[in-house]
Each structure stands twice: as C-alpha cells, then as structure tokens.
Structure 1
C-alpha cells in the first residue's frame, strides 16, 4: 500500500498513541484530577482557539486584499479551519500548504499568487518565532514572571517592536539574506544535498518579499499583530489550562516547551506527532507536575490543539475541497 493512500491509518495510529501515552503516565488517578477543571474553563480554552483562528483569517483577508482578492470573514475562516485540519491530519503538516493554495485558487487567485501568499504566511510566522523564542529564553533564564501588568505590557511591546524591526530588515535587506544563504550552501557540504529544497525556498522567499514590499507600513503592522496574536493565543492555551488547575509553571518555559514539541512533531512520521509529542511533554514538565496532573493536562491540551482541529475541521475541509480532498491529504512521496 502506497504511503499516500495510508494517511487514514497513520492518523488512527497517531490518535491511539496520543491518548494511550498520557493514560500510561497518570493511570486512573488522572481522571480524578479532572474534577479540578471547571466546564467554563474548557469553553474558555476552546474560545481561545477559535479567536486564534479568527486572527489567522484576518491575516488571510489582509494578504488577499493586497493581491486584489476580497475574502469575506466567513470565507477566510473556513479556509483557515480547512487548512488547519489538513495540516493536523497529515505527517509533518504536509497537507496544509497544498490545501491553502488549492482553496485560494478556487476563490479566483492564480496559483503563483496563492503560493506567494503562502510564502508570506510562513515568513510572518518565522519572524514571530525569531523574535519570541529569544525573548522567552531570556525571560526564563532571568527567572522573571509575567504576572505584573507593566512587565506583561512591556514584554508585548518589546515583542511587537522586535518583530516589526526584523520584518523591516527582511523586506529591505532581502538581497543580502539571499547572498548569505547562497554562500552558506556553498561552504557547508551537508547543505548541498538539499540544494533543490533550498532553491524552492529561495523562490518562495522572493515571492513573499515581492508581496511585502508593496504593502504600506500600517498593513505590515497589522500583519504582524495578527500573526503574533494568533500564536500567542495558541501557545497560551497550556498556560491558562495550568492556571485553571492551580499549577504554577513559568509562561516562558511553557512557550519554549511547546515550540520544541510542535517543531519535533513536524519531523515525525505520524500526523500531529502522535506519541512523540506526548512523551516529550511528560519529560519536559515532569519537574513541575505530578504524573496524574501531567496526564490530564496533556489530554486537555492535545484536545484543544489537535483533536479539536480534526473534529471541527473535517466537515469544513470536506465541504471546501470536495473531490480533491483525498489528493490534498496525501503525503508527498
């Protein structure tokens, strides 16, 4: 059986591991801890996910408008939800990019411009994490919390300003970046194996920069704010969950843990990194949480950031893609 025809089996295996690993960690005791989590807390967490999707949809509307594509709020949101499902349901999120490009072309955008929008989307994410991760590392090493309103506001302002500065550098110094990447590829023999992938990345990078250059400053600001809002909400689900359970874990550490886990999940064979993410979660948070609490936290967190994507996204994906669904979900290879 070819790999591209077995994504459903891979998804089933991933879900099985994703549920069984936390139960192995905490046993039946984890279900007793469930009583500490109020029902309104679950609604709050899912509301954060939905708001994050809406911010992502606003980013899509902003980029589409820059290319002459007018998307309604409903169209943009359904596109985001369908793309999130495709990403969650396939190994390394391989189904997400082709789904987004396909849906944009179905709405009247050319394939080249759709790929350009995808490149800008990825570049904006890269800029956010390129600024947020160093800030989180410094915050964690300093052992500072973010509970004080002034510190929290200062942290957000620093993140926004640093992200905008990096975005400005990418737009105005893109030629230097391309030359640096070319020199790096020539000097490091290992990278020669990936020269075709790097060439494709360069093409996408140029597409993204070409689109960004045409955007006025206020649109660049809105793009980064939507990007930062989307990821901060997604990465704060775990922190809010632990707050509801009255557990104290530094926010900066939780941000770094999720960055490691979700990046690691992207390189695993199974959709959503099933099994691997759960094992890493238990290892990285064992110093803060007992096994039962860790297991419950893991199940609820994964429900909000993985299972929910599949449950809500599946019908939206099918309605949006129709007969192309199987082809879009098929992993490359």
Structure 2
C-alpha cells in the first residue's frame, strides 16, 4: 500500500479514536439514544448542499461550457471527495481542473472557476464572522473564544485584502517573482512559461468576475445557503443529544475546528478537527455529549463525503487520477 493510503487510514483512525477516548463509557448510550430521523435529516441536508453547489457550478460555467445538472452534481461530489481524501484539501482544485478539462474547459478557466467559488466562500465566512461578532456584543463570551473569533476574522479579512492586492498589483508581483526565479537559477524559458500560465489564469479570473451582477449575486446567495445548511449539522446533532446551545456558537466551533484541522495537513483535517471541537464543546456540554456530537457531526460532514463521493470519483476520473491523488503527498 502506498504512503498516501496509509496516511488516509491513519487519519480516519485518529478521527475515530479521539471522540471514543473523550466520551468514555457514556458515549455508547448517547449514540444509541440519538433519533434516527434527525440523522436522516442531516444526510438529506448534505445531499441538498451538493445540489446547491451543482447549481452554483453551472452558473460559473455558463459562459464556458453547457452541462447538465446531474453531471455538475457528479463533478461536485468527486471534487468534495478529493478535498476530504488529500492533505489540506489540495486534491480538490486538481480534480476539478482534470474533470473540466475533459469537457473542453481550459486549465486557466477551470482554475478561475474554482477561485471564484472559493472567493465566494471566503466572503461568506467574513460576513458570518462579522454577524457573530455583533451577536457576541450582546451575549456573554468566553475571552479565549473571543480572541479566537477576532483572530479568525482578522485572518480572513487579511486574506481578502491580499487577494485584491495581488490582483491590483499583479504586474509588480510578476516582475518580483521573475527576479527571484532568476536569482535561483531557473531557466528563462521556464520563467516565461510560468509567467504565461499566471497571466492566463489572471485573464480567466478577470473574465469570470465580469459576469452579470445578478449571476454573481446568485452565486453568493447559493454559497450562503450551502454553508448555512452545512454548518447547522452540529446544532441539530446537539439538539438530538438534548444539549442545546446557541446556533452562532456551533457555527463558530465548526469554523475554528475545521481551520485547526486544515492546519494539521491530514486528509479532511482528521484528528485536528476532533481535538479542536472537543476542546471547545466539552466545557459547554460535557465529555460524553461532546464526544457523541463530534462522532455524528464528522460522520455526516466527513465520512459521508468519502463514502458517497468515492464511487462517483472513480466513475468520472478513473483509477489513474485516483492513484495520482493517493500519491499527492509524495509530489
């Protein structure tokens, strides 16, 4: 078995062991008492999220490629699988580019579509954090969580400013990169080739952002709907376990936990997301309830993505692309 497979299996084992060790003997009873109808509701919400993202993808591809809703849905599910199965989600853009390239979309255009999609995500989270900050002004907030909230908002705002700065001063950035690459001894032909790729991406991104304002607004609206649904999973889980806390705090816990998970550089943030969410949830609801909530939440928002997405990925991309994703860490 390759190192990539062992990494994924180790991440899955760590993701399962952390809540099991946290919950102790009370965990099994909590899981047995969880309502089945709520579990089916949350799985249905994830399926709805995939369909929302499929509509969003069709809107972004409208001027580049006509596709059916079913095919867009399959691309979304395969891309989400790649994000969950690779360290830091690095396989997501690679998968989307490969699948769109098979349908005649140039790599620069596919990368631009992925970038617009994630810029929309980033804008939503900044808006959501501002809303939570306003909510926190009128409610008691743990100082530690307050610092985490403020720091996350500052980082996301800084990322948006950096993106717009790179877009505004891209010529100066390209010249600086060219000088650095020259000092590193990189051949001129390679420097020119990379410069052309960056310019193609920049032009494709600029073209994508020139879509009608109504289309961009619809993309952002679908983004907001998707994340509101997905980030309600933990709240519904806690309701089913009989431990209700404000929805805003569950949203914040998921954001911070998944950010910590991405920093761990393990597939799907496995291990890091469980540790961070456990540390934030345990003081509010207790160890056994927190452990059960983490297991159910991750089963719906992580394991379900892997189980449902794997056959779709293999059908669309085939085993060669899957093998390349498995070896992604070694690249």
TM-score by length of 2: 0.80
The superposition leaves residues 253-305 of structure 1 with CA deviations (integer Å, 9 ceiling, x where unpaired) of 11111111112211213212222211111111122111111111110000001
Structure 2, unmatched stretches of 5+, are 141-156, 177-190
- Out of 11, 22, 29, the position equivalent to 1:25 is 22
Instruction: Measure how far apart 1:252 and its partner are.
Output: 1.3
2:256 paired residue number: 260
CA distance in 2, matches of 1:284, 1:133: 17
On the 8 A contact 2:253/2:280 being kept in 1, the answer is yes
2:66 paired residue number: 70
1:54 paired residue number: 51
The superposition leaves residues 181-220 of structure 1 with CA deviations (integer Å, 9 ceiling, x where unpaired) of 979xx9xxxxxxxxx9xx999975664333111x112211
Alignment of 1:239-318 (within 5 A): 239-318=235-314
Residues 204 and 24 of structure 1: CA distance in aligned 2, closer, same or farther (over 3 Å): farther
Provide the aligned length of Structure 1 versus Structure 2.
290
Provide the alpha-carbon RMSD of the alignment. Answer: 2.8
Residues 83 and 25 of structure 1: CA distance in aligned 2, closer, same or farther (over 3 Å): same
- Out of 115, 118, 125, the position equivalent to 1:122 is 118
Q: Runs of 4 or more off by more than 3 Å in structure 1? A: 173-177, 179-183, 199-207
TM-score by length of 1: 0.80
Instruction: Measure how far apart 1:6 and its partner are.
Output: 1.5
Instruction: Measure how far apart 1:143 and its partner are.
Output: 2.0
| Helix, strand or coil at the partner of 2:61 | helix
Structure 1, unmatched stretches of 5+, are 145-165, 187-195
On the 8 A contact 1:87/1:93 being kept in 2, the answer is yes
On the 8 A contact 2:108/2:200 being kept in 1, the answer is no
On the 8 A contact 2:5/2:326 being kept in 1, the answer is no
1:16 paired residue number: 13
CA distance in 2, matches of 1:135, 1:320: 39
